[in-house]
Structure 1
């Protein structure tokens, strides 16, 4: 099992209050009829000093949302706009969630506690502000699997069943309700910047850029980057680096997010907000996750382009502060950074040391071809070929000369790989829905974390060492 992190002290630090009067709206949580704890992630809670909370305090803070000590006095529903399937929508914002608290983790990073399903807000429009229990279970599975596969993702901290019956068009209804808390490095989206552009709030845009640079630090732009001393240009370069790595991590994990709208893209490069996600059953660039994605805009193979397009919308927003050329120069770095990240992460998942850009690109291409021709599920492919073993034909030739890394963990001796294709997700949910049996979920999380332990620490993006 994965070793527990060293317990950190609880260090509240609600920095968002610097921006709160124009960034969000004070709200209250819905008064739920029940607050039954279904999942508490003490592994993640340890990093921010919350693992020691007794269950009754966990319910008070994460079910009834009584403020944490010295933290936000009232939850804040954030304001933002966004492109949804490339259509601009100025009426979004936090419609069933809010920012509840901020604190420092054991590495000194500023982290947010945000909610999903916590009730109506001024941005709810026709929505009921609620979350289905199945949606919450799906999110904990997604975040656990992504973390195990090296993706920079939010952590699902808590799921509390809230005792309401919800009507949904995409689930058998009535269905059970829940409220979820996620732990993230931030909840500021590209859509947050788009709103300030639409309202021409230049001073607020400058303040938001400064907040991001202060609290989500990253490497400086290259020495020859035009406009590198401008804060907006610095942020653009940081975001491009993070997003290139995020896109690569999705592809190497065989993950399809499903809804890569600008309001679902976190400025920190952290994956979050999981709805109709899927893992690939086979290596298929056209595979889509959302039943409503009729054009395949966010299909598996189009995710890098979608994320790059979203970065372009950030560049457009930052034109409120700087001219276009330095922002375009930052955008042009995405492709090379993405290819480097794919190669680095591919070798990490295969359990071999990177060789050279040309050889690594050929290795990726050979493995993709092998998966397409065989139809093998990607998790099984990477498991079977860990450390270069059992390779044949083009894959064997491409792996020649690669040096295996540590593959001594007993997970690699298992006959089958851990995966999270849709049948596995439905099996876990079926036990809950039919028998209120939560053991399959806990067992699945334990196995996923064991797999994550076997993979080890994911590679660091270039420039972030």
Structure 2
């Protein structure tokens, strides 16, 4: 069974203060005409001591953005650059969001409350700084499904409808608006380091490296790794480990993020910022989520390549502090770490005991072949063959026969069919809200996904995991 987030008292800690003078710009929230609480993630609110807020106080803090007690006095829009579809862009940053607060959970981990759709900032360019209500609903669904499937993801903490009408080119307009708050371990991105490289701010980069190592600790590099006592090299190893596991978790979940730019890569290895995401209807490496990804750069099967490429950009940025060789050595660990993570996570989702990376990799190949030939989606496949059940034959049957099932008595495994998150269901949930203001299908889906997460139990994660 998966452990629920544990209740904790509210513990503010604005660790970002030591960097804020050059890391971001103080900003104000937009003044919205309304602040109607639509979604509050009470189990995670309890974990950071904010579950005691009533809806009026919730709306005041997460719709009007009155500061939390002893926390940031003003929101901070963070500065960063990034490669967007492999094209470097120095004209970005938090254009419709900001860091609102920092606090500790019961385990002492530093957490951020950051926004999406909270208004314009100095980095908004031509954007209105707003978020559609549909975009917020989609992010609830993405994060809840990913969390249930063991992916290290930000949590959708709050959604408040703001009463504005928005115009968008990619959905019927005018459409309803919202402001969202996400809970995550950090908003420090690979693009944050890229900006410091571009401006040759070596002292600031050194401070940022030390901040990341102190606030998001991970394992030391292998003993024989060159430069293993250098802070920049240590952080490089940790980020490679985390992103290799993140890439593996996407693949095992059958998830396509859609926009894996370096400004969307968190150094904690935490997935976030969900725009055109999709789940696979069938096992198709060429499946893309973003209609504008014409070349399939971020197609399902190319996601590991994308995260590896982003690690390379992180290494380039860290050249401001370190020689190339130890950074390249760290980056070259990505492939083996990714294969180990796929094997580990595949067995976890399939409900069998791992037999080691080599044997598990052969099992993965047999499963992929079966999914391709049967045109079965990953949700249905993993459910049908959980713990080796389903009497598979052929190559898959031979492979599974060698595996011991993981004991699980959760009633979810007796359901007639698994939970999934295909586009038709997403649109049906949104239509109920859009046409009838009926939120029941969304809340029921969230409950069903959390039940699925309980059935899967705790995911296998590496030592450097920040989830």
Do the aligned partners of 1:219 and 1:464 also contact (CA within 8 Å) in 2?
A: no
Structure 2 equivalent of residue 429 of structure 1: 430
Residue aligned with 1:177, SS: strand
Deviation at 1:2, TM superposition (A): 7.3
- The answer to whether the aligner puts 1:417 opposite 2:435 as a matched pair is no
Do the aligned partners of 1:351 and 1:387 also contact (CA within 8 Å) in 2?
A: yes
Deviation at 1:3, TM superposition (A): 6.7
Structure 1 equivalent of residue 396 of structure 2: 395
Deviation at 1:461, TM superposition (A): 1.5
- The answer to whether the aligner puts 1:29 opposite 2:29 as a matched pair is yes
- The answer to whether the aligner puts 1:314 opposite 2:314 as a matched pair is yes
Do the aligned partners of 1:149 and 1:455 also contact (CA within 8 Å) in 2?
A: yes
Do the aligned partners of 1:28 and 1:74 also contact (CA within 8 Å) in 2?
A: yes
TM-score (norm 2): 0.98
Aligned mates of 2:316, 2:425 — CA distance in 1: 41
Question: How much is the aligned-residue C-alpha RMSD, in angstroms?
Answer: 1.1
- The answer to whether the aligner puts 1:292 opposite 2:285 as a matched pair is no
- Unaligned stretches of 5+ in structure 1? none
Do the aligned partners of 1:25 and 1:77 also contact (CA within 8 Å) in 2?
A: yes
Structure 1 equivalent of residue 160 of structure 2: 160
Aligned mates of 2:405, 2:117 — CA distance in 1: 45
- Unaligned stretches of 5+ in structure 2? none
Structure 1 equivalent of residue 139 of structure 2: 139
Residue aligned with 2:164, SS: strand
Structure 1 equivalent of residue 323 of structure 2: 323
Aligned mates of 1:203, 1:56 — CA distance in 2: 44
Do the aligned partners of 2:268 and 2:465 also contact (CA within 8 Å) in 1?
A: no
For residues 3 and 236 of structure 1, do their structure 2 counterparts lie closer, same or farther at Cα, with a shift above 3 Å needed? closer
Once the two structures are superposed, what CA deviation does each residue of 1:29-79 show, in whole Å capped at 9, x if it has no partner?
000000000000001111110011011110010000000000000000000
Residue aligned with 1:263, SS: helix
Q: Where does 1:235-384 land on structure 2 (aligned, <5 Å)?
A: 235-384=235-384
Structure 1 equivalent of residue 219 of structure 2: 219
Residue aligned with 2:52, SS: coil
Aligned mates of 1:293, 1:61 — CA distance in 2: 37
Once the two structures are superposed, what CA deviation does each residue of 1:109-161 show, in whole Å capped at 9, x if it has no partner?
00000000000000000000000000000001000000000000000000000
Do the aligned partners of 1:7 and 1:49 also contact (CA within 8 Å) in 2?
A: yes
Deviation at 1:407, TM superposition (A): 2.5
Residue aligned with 1:161, SS: strand
Structure 2 equivalent of residue 87 of structure 1: 87
Deviation at 1:4, TM superposition (A): 4.8
Alignment length, in residue pairs? Answer: 465
Deviation at 1:463, TM superposition (A): 6.4
Residue aligned with 1:345, SS: helix
Do the aligned partners of 2:36 and 2:161 also contact (CA within 8 Å) in 1?
A: yes
Structure 1 equivalent of residue 70 of structure 2: 70
Structure 2 equivalent of residue 198 of structure 1: 198
